[in-house]
């Protein structure tokens, strides 16, 4: 997506080699201790979920450091030195182990330095209390949990992130003089958490846990091949290392892998499912399958939905142009349904490094990253297809460039999503109302904009016209009922108690002109249990 640099909070991966089974051919070098070296490859296939940092923790019996954690800022290739064979091999040799977890990070909470990179590790003299973990998502009740800890004597938080809060909560549930059952630990843990979390956990006994929150906000897939078990936020990460029979962990379920084998159990129930619809329309790799629904096919279905609602007169000078890269399946499907050419009138410069542009504003990033192709656009009526519009800054620049440098005759924006009218508190980097484009025009909030409103919105971004999809198109394209999806950013209706409170707070803060991420605000106050 180009129109707002929308970002997602992370991806997780895990591998475990069962010692009592014949070694899987998928295990590198056919040596169990090298199972951990699959983690960077899996993370590389989920680079779309975070580019700020990458890391992994491994377990190996007999090593002085039973759990060893390595992490660094940058992409997966940068963090693990994958473009320098000798350095990469040295890192993998040092970290070699039969069990491992990994993480790629984008920050919706906390800073961009290596101390915020995951996994987080907590060392302890007792092996069941020594663990590492990583998670994909965001705790909506982060502020309340943080306040609860800081109100207690002698508690100190080194980082402003919900990951550290979760570290303390897990540590608390592992307290005592007897080794607890891990299913019971997560049964207690979930009662204190409100929000999204697909989590991987590894302790100094070599036990591995994967868990998905009871609403199922974020995906979590897993697979087995002989002695090898693996899990990842996206199925493509498992497919590309050779797994074939891939399954999806149900919301509220966990899997424990240990010397006694694999145990799948339910640790939490919820009044409803709330899978994030953005996973299908933007975040996930197009080659992934989430909960049995193809990401690519969902995006193509959205394009066919756009075609159904198109009213613009079409002629031989009309072309469909996707905003690279996630809008391409929708644009191609729309063009096919309308018997129009789908052309790459915008080319993305994939060689402009992240570091080079990170200090620029959104408008300058668009000029650096996208080049209009005049030979494709000149004199054309352009249907510019985007997956969604969040802040609109970059979209305005793209339209300006398509006109000025591409010399297009007309630019009509088609959005494969309804208007974003509310913040997200479950792991997407849009937690304030004032940063969103659509609420400035939709005074009544929820509902489809009328023609006059759409005309004002189009004028604001410099387009000849603007069209969004209606709300009912989203569940129809994904193939899931609306009540099994989280559509809060489209409707203002949040599935969890903390989300509902935060939305009220976001509205109050917007009315007072208060800046900052709502999810990190000290309000709303709520009753909390003592730690």
Residue whose C-alpha is closest to residue 500's, from 518, 514, 522: 518
Query: Could you confirm whether 10 is annotated as catalytic?
Result: yes
Look at residues 358, 360, 443 and name the one whose alpha carbon lies nearest to residue 397: 360
Residues 6+ apart with CB under 8 A from 331: 303, 320, 321, 322, 342, 385
Query: For residue 457, what is the DSSP state?
Result: H
Report the interhelical angle of 328-338 vs 295-308 (nearest 10°): 40
> In sequence order, what E strands does 395-491 have?
410-415, 465-468, 485-486
In the chain the first and final C-alpha atoms are separated, in Å, by 41
Which 3 state secondary structure label does DSSP give 491? helix
Strands 221-225 and 228-232: antiparallel
What token pair was written down for 126? 């007792």
d(CA 209, CA 197): 13
Q: Which of 10, 109, 486, 489 is catalytic?
A: 10
Closest among 395, 524, 516 to 460, alpha carbons compared: 395
Would you say 75 and 51 are in contact if contact means Cβ atoms under 8 Å apart?
Answer: yes
Q: What is the DSSP string of 88-145?
A: HHHHHHHH--SEEEEEEE--SSS-SSGGG-S-EEE--SSGGG-EEEEEEEEETTHHHH
| Residue 464 in tokens | 């000849």
Provide the annotated active-site residues: 10
């Amino acid at each position: 997506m180009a129109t707002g640099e929308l970002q997602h909070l992370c991806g997780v991966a895990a591998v475990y080699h069962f010692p009592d089974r014949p070694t899987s051919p998928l295990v590198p070098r056919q040596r169990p201790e090298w199972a951990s070296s699959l983690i960077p490859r899996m993370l590389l296939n989920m680079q779309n979920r975070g580019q700020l940092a990458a890391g992994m923790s491994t377990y190996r019996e007999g090593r002085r450091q039973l759990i060893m954690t390595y992490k660094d800022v940058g992409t997966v290739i940068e963090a693990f030195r994958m473009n320098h064979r000798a350095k990469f091999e040295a890192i993998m040799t040092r970290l070699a182990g039969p069990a491992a977890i990994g993480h790629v990070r984008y920050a919706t909470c906390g800073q961009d330095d290596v101390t915020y990179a995951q996994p987080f590790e907590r060392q302890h003299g007792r092996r069941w209390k020594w663990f590492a973990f990583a998670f994909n998502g965001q705790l909506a009740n982060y502020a309340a949990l943080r306040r609860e800890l800081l109100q207690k004597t002698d508690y100190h938080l080194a980082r402003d992130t919900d990951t550290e809060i979760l570290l303390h909560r897990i540590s608390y549930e592992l307290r005592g003089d007897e080794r607890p059952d891990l299913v019971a630990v997560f049964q207690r843990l979930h009662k204190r958490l409100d929000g999204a979390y697909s989590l991987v956990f590894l302790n100094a006994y070599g036990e591995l846990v994967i868990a998905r929150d009871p609403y199922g906000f974020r995906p979590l897939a897993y697979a087995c091949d002989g002695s090898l078990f693996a899990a990842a936020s996206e199925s493509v990460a498992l497919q590309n290392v050779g797994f074939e029979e891939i399954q999806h962990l149900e919301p509220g379920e966990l899997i424990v892998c240990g010397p006694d084998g694999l145990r799948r159990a339910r640790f939490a129930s919820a009044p409803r499912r709330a899978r994030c619809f953005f996973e299908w329309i933007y975040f996930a790799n197009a080659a992934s399958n989430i909960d049995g629904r193809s990401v690519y096919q969902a995006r193509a279905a959205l394009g066919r939905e756009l075609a159904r609602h198109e009213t613009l007169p079409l002629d031989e000078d009309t072309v469909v142009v996707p905003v690279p890269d996630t809008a391409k399946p929708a644009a191609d499907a729309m063009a096919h349904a309308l018997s129009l050419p789908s052309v790459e009138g915008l080319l993305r410069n994939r060689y402009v490094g992240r570091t080079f542009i990170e200090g620029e504003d959104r408008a300058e990033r668009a000029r650096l990253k996208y080049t209009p192709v005049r030979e494709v656009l000149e004199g054309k009526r352009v249907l510019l297809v985007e997956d969604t519009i969040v802040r609109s800054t970059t979209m305005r620049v793209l339209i300006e460039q398509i006109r000025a440098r591409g010399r297009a005759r007309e630019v009509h924006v088609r959005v494969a999503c309804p208007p974003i009218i509310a913040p997200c508190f479950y792991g997407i980097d849009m937690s304030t109302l004032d940063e969103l484009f659509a609420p400035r025009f939709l005074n009544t909030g929820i509902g489809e904009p009328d023609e006059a409103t759409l005309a004002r919105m189009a004028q604001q971004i410099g387009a000849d016209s603007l069209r969004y999809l209606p709300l009912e198109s989203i569940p129809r394209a994904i193939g899931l009922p609306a009540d099994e999806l989280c559509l809060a950013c489209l409707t203002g209706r949040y599935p969890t108690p903390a989300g509902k409170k935060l939305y009220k707070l976001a509205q109050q803060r917007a009315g007072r002109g208060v800046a900052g991420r709502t999810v990190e605000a000290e309000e709303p106050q709520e009753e909390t249990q003592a730690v």
